[in-house]
Structure 1
Amino acid sequence: MADTSKLGFTRRGLLGAFAATVAVAAPTYSNAFGLLRGAGDIRRIRMYSGRTGESIDTIYWIEGKYIPEVMAEINHFMRDWRSNDVTNIDARTIDIMAAAHRLMDVKEPYMMLSGYRSPRTNAMLRAQSSGVAQNSLHLKGQAADLRLKSRSVSQMAKAAAACASGGVGRYSRSNFVHMDCGPVRSWGG
């Protein structure tokens, strides 16, 4: 991760900018990530995978531009861990995840349960559970299933829904939230 002091901003400055943004920004789908606008001109994502033992804590967007090398790292991190297949993760999904994380004001990284799913993996999961969509946005790299120890499913879902930028699924029995960059909608309990 980059040393923020060399980039000319501090953590306190970033948090202050974000607080001001939350107070005045109304998220819209046309600029889905209004919650991130004005946040020191950076976007950061923190996740770990219990499946692979890997973690990622990185700034992936600076001053209006995604960092291609970092996006490639995120693509690899969010790969189908069963097959090691990698696809390009839609940046809008990462933005929704990052915005929701900021709204919850947590330092804890997300535990990623599922990012990209290959067609074979999705078919296998569909055979095991009725809760897996045949045309899941996971197949397109446009969805993630996430968990936080310090926040409830309800808290996570409310933060993601506040972004008004995609789908939010509550899976309370399994203790995770689905976030995607598809049409704005919600489901589950």
Structure 2
Amino acid sequence: MDILAGIQGWFSLHDIHVPIIVLSGLREAKTNEDAGGVKDSAHLRGGACDLTVPGVPVEYLSKLALYLQGGGVGVYPTRSFIHVDDGKMRSWRG
């Protein structure tokens, strides 16, 4: 939640009022498997979120999430979302 609050705060600070669309949060094991998630995914314990913000490029969102240093950040440009989690700082492209 901290990283989501940070993203929302960044936009609010710059007088940009846009919704954060949560595509996936806590997942059951079967749903995680069907989504292609890894076996020890942070989604399984509610520690991850896949999100998008209408009109904001995923490359921008991923840079913002990395700047906020809240944990892992994955960017999925062909699917137009980013993944953030509360794990160690790392980044990847999916």
Shift >6 Å, 4+ stretches: none
Deviation at 1:101, TM superposition (A): 2.3
1:165 to 70, 81, 86: 70
| C-alpha distance in 2 between matches for 1:125 and 1:95 | 24
Counterpart in 1 of 2:34?
A: 124
Corresponding residue for 2:19? 109
What do residues 13-57 of structure 1 show as CA deviations (whole Å, max 9, x unaligned)? xxxxxxxxxxxxxxxxxxxxxxxxxxxxxxxxxxxxxxxxxxxxx
Alignment pair present for 1:176 and 2:88: no
- Cα deviation code 1:77-124 (max 9, x no counterpart): xxxxxxxxxxxxxxxxx1111102222343111111100001121122
Judge conservation of contact 1:101–1:159 (CA < 8 Å) in 2: no
Q: TM-score, with normalisation over the residues of structure 1? A: 0.46
Q: Structure 2: where are the runs of 5+ without partners?
A: none
Please show how residues 129-168 of structure 1 align to structure 2 within 5 Å.
132-168=37-73
Structure with the bigger RCO (C-alpha within 8 Å, sep 6+) is 2
Give the whole-Å Cα distance in 2 for the aligned partners of 1:118 and 1:183.
22
Q: Which protein is bigger by CA-based radius of gyration?
A: 1
Pairwise CA RMSD: 1.4
Number of positions where the alignment pairs a residue of Structure 1 with one of Structure 2: 91
The share of aligned pairs that are identical, in percent, is 36
Post-superposition CA distance 1:49-72 (Å, at most 9, x none): xxxxxxxxxxxxxxxxxxxxxxxx
Structure-1 residue corresponding to 2:92 = 187
Name the CA distance, whole Å, in 2 between partners of 1:112 and 1:142.
13
Q: Tell me the amino acid that sits aligned with residue 160 of structure 1.
A: A
